[in-house]
């Protein structure tokens, strides 16, 4: 029996609010840009850092994850994302084939305080459901 695994686990910060799109067939998808930064000291002891951007997609076929991203997640939030790495190709306007790498999220959780979203706008607090721990990771 062959065992294979395609899984990415990321913790980073959102670079923009989620972009929600409705497709012609009625399906919905959320796109988010997630930044992860690695920090280290070079040979001379000078601090260095490298930020990488990851394209995250969340489909409405995962209703609770999609609803969470749509309602609560905003630019600047620190989130935990787990999903499958997906490579796809497309033709640009000039007819050249381009490749894109995305993480098709199966799980999105808060890894810190939420900065925006529906549950945070009024009293600066999350909704009761989120406060119960349903959406928040506590030990990151």
Q: Over the Cα atoms of the chain, what is R_g?
A: 17
Euclidean distance between CA atoms 28 and 22, whole angstroms: 4
* Domain membership flag for residue 66: yes
Query: What pLDDT, on the 0 to 100 scale, is given for residue 118?
Result: 54
CATH number at residue 123: 2.40.50.140
List average pLDDT for each run of 10 residues in the chain, which is 140 residues long.
90 96 95 96 96 97 94 95 95 94 95 64 34 42
Query: What pLDDT, on the 0 to 100 scale, is given for residue 112?
Result: 79
* Domain membership flag for residue 60: yes
* Domain membership flag for residue 76: yes
Query: What pLDDT, on the 0 to 100 scale, is given for residue 122?
Result: 33
* Domain membership flag for residue 103: yes
Q: Residue 53 is part of which domain span?
A: 8-134
* Domain membership flag for residue 37: yes
Please indicate, yes or no, whether the overall pTM of this predicted structure exceeds 0.85. Answer: no
* Domain membership flag for residue 2: no
Number of domains in the chain: 1
Strands 8-14 and 78-91, sheet pairing = antiparallel
* Domain membership flag for residue 1: no
Q: Output the CA–CA distances (angstroms, integers) from residue 79 to 2, 9, 73, in the order listed.
A: 32, 11, 8
Sign of CA dihedral 125, 128, 130, 131: positive
Contacts with 78 (C-beta within 8 Å, 6 or more apart), sequence order: 11, 12, 13, 110, 111, 112, 113, 140
Euclidean distance between CA atoms 118 and 14, whole angstroms: 17
């Amino acid at each position: 029996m062959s065992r294979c695994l395609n899984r990415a686990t990321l913790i980073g910060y959102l670079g923009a609010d989620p972009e929600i799109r409705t497709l012609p067939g009625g399906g919905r998808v959320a796109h988010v840009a997630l930044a992860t930064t690695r920090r280290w000291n070079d040979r001379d002891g000078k601090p260095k850092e490298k930020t990488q951007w990851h394209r995250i997609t969340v489909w409405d076929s995962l209703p609770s994850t999609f609803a969470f991203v749509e309602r609560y997640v905003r630019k600047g939030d620190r989130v935990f994302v787990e999903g499958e790495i997906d490579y796809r190709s497309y033709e640009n306007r000039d007819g050249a084939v381009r490749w894109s790498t995305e993480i098709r999220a199966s799980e999105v959780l808060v890894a810190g305080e939420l900065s925006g979203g529906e549950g945070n706008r009024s009293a600066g607090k999350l909704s009761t459901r989120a406060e119960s721990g349903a959406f928040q990771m506590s030990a990151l």
